[in-house]
């Protein structure tokens, strides 16, 4: 089990620092945002498993060669006689650190779910108070705001999509259809759940590159996935011009285009330019490339799982 602990530790270091930084600099994710999104989720999951697994397997070395029987032996030892002095202190420290890290991650996930749910409920109450229904669009609200804004509010009963008066005045019918399809993609594909998980990851380990980098990159990839969904229904020119118009109007009013066209974490001018450029000039990643990335994503999760339980 000591070998497994060392391998898990090396994998955890790689997934916490060089791998996410390299992926963030890569150009191919813009050609296959949905596939890249799967890879980011695999990196986060495998990274968490590796960090916790490295500490637990090292801590359990004195109790056996496999994690399950070693855990059972530890429980029997503690229940009957307590941890004996023969167990080196660094194994005890590693075991406690692994348990605390796991509890920390779970606690922050629950805390993030509760916090975001509370914020959404308050936001929804304000929207209901300050907006009016749009007759031709079910579960949508119109808010009297000149800043061009469109975003979705997930709900337990049904979700609501909010549009500003400024957005409706700015866009023509085709461009508005592109925005609507973009927002529908966020809701139908449950993008808010993916973002919630990475928000929790960032809250738990804000100093790790995997947490900092992944939150921004995942937010950008989700926007690209929603763009691709809209492109299946509307023409590329309408979508790209809508993104450009919203960004330009927001810049003229000296306001960041946060949540315009579904941008969940806000948008920068470079992000807007990247989205428009890929719509107008980008090419898709080939089938072989996407299959390779998906296979690698599966392997990333499988490797720490096998190391953890095979010892």
What pLDDT score does 311 carry? Answer: 63
User: Percent of the chain beyond pLDDT 90?
Assistant: 75
- What does the alpha-carbon distance between residue 245 and residue 175 come to, in Å, rounded to a whole number? 10
Strands 160-164, 140-143: pairing is parallel
Residue carrying structure tokens 């993609």 = 185
SS3 assignment, position 163: strand
Whole-structure pTM value: 0.91
User: pLDDT tens digits, residue range 151-198?
Assistant: 999 987 789 999 999 999 999 999 999 999 999 999 999 999 999 999
Closest by Cα among 54, 96, 53 to 74: 96
Confidence of residue 275 (pLDDT cuts 50, 70, 90): very high
SS3 assignment, position 16: helix
Confidence of residue 210 (pLDDT cuts 50, 70, 90): confident
Q: What is the DSSP letter of 283?
A: -
| Other CB atoms within 10 A of residue 241 CB | 19
Closest by Cα among 8, 18, 7 to 48: 8
User: pLDDT tens digits, residue range 38-91?
Assistant: 999 999 999 999 999 999 999 999 998 888 889 988 888 887 766 555 788 999
What pLDDT score does 82 carry? Answer: 61
Residue carrying structure tokens 């000149």 = 146
| Other CB atoms within 10 A of residue 94 CB | 20
* Domain assignments of the chain as residue spans, ordered by start: 2-26+43-310
Closest by Cα among 163, 126, 134 to 147: 163
What pLDDT score does 266 carry? Answer: 43
How distant, in Å, are the alpha carbons of 117, 133, 162 from that of 127?
15, 10, 8
Give yes or no for a contact between 177 and 168, defined as CB atoms under 8 angstroms apart.
no
What pLDDT score does 310 carry? Answer: 80
- What does the alpha-carbon distance between residue 118 and residue 124 come to, in Å, rounded to a whole number? 10
Whether pLDDT at 252 is above 70: no
What pLDDT score does 262 carry? Answer: 40
| E strand residue ranges, the chain | 131-133, 140-143, 150-153, 160-164
Angle, helices 2-16 vs 287-310, to 10°: value is 140
Whether pLDDT at 259 is above 60: no
- What does the alpha-carbon distance between residue 247 and residue 267 come to, in Å, rounded to a whole number? 9
- What does the alpha-carbon distance between residue 51 and residue 86 come to, in Å, rounded to a whole number? 26
Rg (CA), the chain: 23
What pLDDT score does 83 carry? Answer: 56
């Amino acid at each position: 089990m000591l070998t497994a602990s060392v391998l898990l530790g090396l994998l955890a270091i790689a997934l916490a620092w060089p791998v996410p930084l390299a992926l963030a600099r890569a150009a191919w994710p813009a050609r296959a945002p949905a596939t890249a999104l799967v890879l980011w989720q695999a990196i986060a999951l495998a990274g968490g498993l590796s960090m916790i697994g490295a500490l637990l397997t090292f801590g359990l070395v004195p109790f056996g060669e496999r994690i399950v029987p070693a855990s059972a032996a530890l429980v029997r030892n503690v229940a009957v006689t307590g941890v004996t002095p023969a167990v080196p202190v660094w194994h005890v420290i590693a075991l406690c650190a692994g348990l605390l890290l796991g509890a920390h991650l779970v606690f922050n996930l629950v805390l993030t779910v509760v916090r975001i749910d509370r914020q959404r409920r308050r936001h929804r109450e304000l929207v209901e108070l300050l907006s009016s229904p749009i007759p031709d669009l079910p579960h949508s609200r119109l808010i009297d705001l000149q800043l061009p804004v469109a975003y979705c509010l997930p709900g337990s009963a049904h979700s609501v999509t909010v549009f500003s008066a400024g957005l409706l005045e700015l866009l023509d019918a085709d461009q508005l259809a592109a925005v609507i399809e973009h927002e529908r993609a966020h809701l139908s594909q449950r993008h808010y759940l993916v973002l919630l998980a990475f928000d929790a990851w960032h809250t738990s380990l804000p100093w790790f590159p995997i947490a900092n980098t992944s939150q921004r990159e995942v937010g950008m990839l989700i926007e690209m996935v929603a763009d691709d969904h809209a492109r299946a229904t509307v023409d590329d020119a309408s979508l790209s011009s809508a993104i450009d118009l919203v960004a330009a109007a927001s810049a003229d009013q000296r306001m960041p285009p946060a949540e315009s066209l579904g941008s969940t974490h806000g948008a920068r001018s470079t992000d807007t330019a990247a989205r428009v450029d890929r719509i107008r000039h980008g090419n898709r990643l080939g089938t072989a490339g996407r299959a390779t990335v998906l296979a690698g994503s599966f392997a990333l999760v499988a490797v720490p799982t096998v190391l953890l339980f095979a010892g």
